[in-house]
Amino acid sequence: MKKVFLEGAISPEFIADSIAKHQGKHSIGAHNIFLGQVRADEVGDNKVVAIEYTTYEEMANEKLHEIREAAFEKFNLTCLHIYHSLGKVGVGEICIFVFVSSPRRKQVYEATEWLVNQVKEHVPIFGKEILDNADHQWKVNS
């Protein structure tokens, strides 16, 4: 089982490290990366300052495993990685990192889009949006 959940924000250094790890695979010609960044959305007179993520981890890992298998069936990929934050991620910080690699570029964009949508729709992750007045509201994916 690949590790998906990381405590706190996903750092640019972590992303660089993931990229570097793929430079030994000489059949890869194209990578596509999606990063979700926490926005300072306005909520009435207030602003989002962070999102606190929780998950139903056992079920999430089962779902993510199914999504991975389906992606390899559907697209011509050399490898794929999905990382998601748990706990607090501040505005401007990265909470999801989807990384797809393939010999050729054709399918990588669609594969990334499909994976991000699958995670949003089917993986039990919950987000508490913390506002600058210390109130909160529960995030719902649109």
Partner 1 sequence: MITVNYFGNIAEATQSDSETLDQKSMSLEELLNLLDSKYDIRKFQFQVAVNRKIIPKQQVLTISDSDEVALLPPFAGG
Which residues of this chain interact with a copy of itself, rule CB under 8 A?
12-13, 15-17, 19-20, 22-40, 91-94, 103, 105, 108-110, 112-113, 116
Measured torsion, CA atoms of residues 119, 4, 39, 93, in degrees rounded to the nearest 10:
-160
Q: Measured at the alpha carbon of residue 13, what is the angle toward residues 113 and 34, in degrees to the nearest 5?
A: 5
Only one residue has tokens 């990334």, namely 112
Of 115, 93, 95, 83, the residue nearest 19 (C-alpha): 83
In the complex with partner 1, which residue's Cβ is closer, 125 or 130?
125
Measured from the CB atom, the residue of 1 and 20 that comes closer to a copy of itself is 20
List the single partner that 70 binds among partner 1, a copy of itself, none, CB under 5 to 8 Å by kind: none
Cα–Cα distance between 103 and 44 in angstroms, integer?
47
**Which option in a copy of itself, partner 1, none does residue 35 bind, with CB closer than 5 to 8 A by kind?**
a copy of itself
CA distance 36 to 67: 18
* Interface contacts to partner 1, rule CB under 8 A: 36, 51, 53-56, 58-59, 62, 84, 95-96, 105, 116, 119-128, 138-141
Nearer residue to a copy of itself within complex by CB, 62 or 93: 93
- Other beta carbons less than 10 A from residue 119's beta carbon: 22
Q: How far is the CB of 93 from partner 1 (least distance, A)?
A: 14
For a copy of itself, the closer CB: 94 or 130:
94
